[in-house]
Amino acid sequence: MNRDEQRKNLKYHREQLIKDLETFYTDAFNQLSELDLNEIAIAKLTQILLQSRDGAITPLEKKIERPIITTAPSKS
């Protein structure tokens, strides 16, 4: 597998992981509404979930957007 194929493969798997994480967090948020907790407890859990989601997904998104430079530009 050449470098370009490896990069595309990694990007695909990162994107798939992001989708899987989004599904997980969506399900978790939906479950919060079904819990028999007061509003303060739900708000605290929501905040923790949002922080967790941000910590899990943001680095993956940044990695996808970051270009890969494999060689230095040649001086002509």
The residue among 59, 29, 53 whose CA lies nearest residue 42 is 29
What per-residue confidence (pLDDT) applies to 49?
95
The neighbour count for residue 36, using CB atoms within 10 Å, is: 5
SS3 31: helix
What per-residue confidence (pLDDT) applies to 62?
84
What per-residue confidence (pLDDT) applies to 72?
63
Per-residue pLDDT tens listing for the chain (76 residues): 788 888 888 889 999 999 999 999 999 999 998 888 999 999 999 999 999 999 999 998 887 655 655 666 667 6
SS3 26: helix
What per-residue confidence (pLDDT) applies to 66?
57
| Prediction pTM value | 0.73
